[in-house]
Structure 1
Amino acid sequence: MSRTQLLDPAVGRAMSAVSAAAKKGLGDPVLAELVMVRASQLNHCAFCLDIHLRVARENGESEDRLGLLAAWEETEDLYSERERAALALTEAVTVLTDGFVSDAVYERAAGHFTEAELAHLIGLITVINGWNRLMVSRRVAPGGYRP
């Protein structure tokens, strides 16, 4: 298998199933795409950014919000408190170089999501980080995704 091929089909199907379950349990397709775009920005995954920016737009996300997502903390009125809590959790789970996810970040998210939604949100963050790492390590270029 060349480095630019995606991955073994069985792994891809399993990861896709986890992603679908997490999205369904979260119940908010726009929020799911914001989370996946933000993690992909942090992980420098052009392949995943290409996909999730496109899907976010298809779900009605605005260009302003997508364009400013990398600086979401500086745009207090652009994202809801629920979205901001999810984005903070996304960053904490994605960038573990500082150690564990802080209690403050976790509690902030727990204040906006039910236990089930929080489990699905963490699952979604985990699976997009997995996809990012697979695509970046294999150097899969953007533009080749076919739903």
Structure 2
Amino acid sequence: MTARTTYLEPDVLRALQKAGAAAKHGFGDPVLAELVMIRASQINACAFCLDMHVDVAVEKNGESAKRIALLNAWREAGDLYSERERAALALTEAVTVLTDGFVPDDAYESAAKQFTEPQLAHLIGLIAVINSWNRLMVTRRIEPGGPAW
């Protein structure tokens, strides 16, 4: 597969970088932030973002290969993921897919029980930002390790 274009409007690039940094910083849990970004990127089939965020999760945050390998099946993985992580992953899937055109109450309420209101706002921002990145990379066909901009 060849990239369609590597050009990314500089103002869009800066805005997404700034929004992503703000969401991560305010969320305060770098390990879970990477799991959320990996899960959204799995759903969106974004190889570029998967490659990047798996590396960050493992090399920078010490995440285990097992937890990353089973992330796609987190519901069936028993106690491998905490209740808090499971709530964040369920919300990630609901926001990413929007099958019914809205985020189901149970996904939102489960996350709201696990996170403070500011943390939840940052989590939702983080999910929105990674979905934006996924769409930019998949649309432009940017391969893992390839030039993104």
Q: What is the TM-score normalised by the length of structure 1?
A: 0.95
* Unaligned residue ranges in structure 2 (runs of 5+): none
- Partner in structure 1 of residue 83 of structure 2: 81
Output the aligned Cα RMSD. 1.3
Provide the rounded CA distance (Å) in 2 between the counterparts of 1:4 and 1:113.
39
Which residue does 2:93 correspond to in 1? 91
- Give the corresponding residue for 2:13: 12
Q: How far is the alpha carbon of 1:144 from its aligned partner?
A: 2.5
Change in Cα spacing, 1:82 to 1:134, as seen in structure 2 (3 Å) is same
What count of residue pairs does the alignment treat as equivalent?
145
> 2:26 maps to what in 1?
25
8 Å contact 1:6–1:135 — kept in the other structure? no
Write the mapping of 1:35-74 to structure 2, written as runs, cut at 5 A.
35-58=36-59, 59-74=61-76
AA matched with 2:69: G
Post-superposition offset of 1:6 = 4.7
Q: Secondary structure at the match of 1:4?
A: coil
The separation in 2 between residues aligned to 1:25 and 1:46, in whole angstroms, is 26
Is 1:34 the counterpart of 2:28 in the alignment?
no
**2:115 counterpart residue number:** 113
Shift of 1:145: 5.9
Summarize the Cα distance change of 1:48–1:6 in structure 2 as closer, same or farther, 3 Å threshold: farther
Distance 1:144 1:56 in 2: 19
Q: Is the 8 A contact 1:4 1:141 kept in 2?
A: no
Task: Output the CA distance in 2 between the equivalents of 1:71 and 1:54.
Answer: 20
Length-normalised TM-score, structure 2: 0.94
Give the whole-Å Cα distance in 1 for the aligned partners of 2:147 and 2:75.
Answer: 30
Q: Percent identity?
A: 70
Partner residue of 1:101 out of 88, 93, 103: 103
Helix, strand or coil at the partner of 2:114: coil
The separation in 2 between residues aligned to 1:90 and 1:7, in whole angstroms, is 25
- Consecutive unaligned residues of structure 1, counting only runs of 5 or more, are none
Q: Measure, in 1, the Cα distance between the counterparts of 2:144 and 2:78.
A: 31
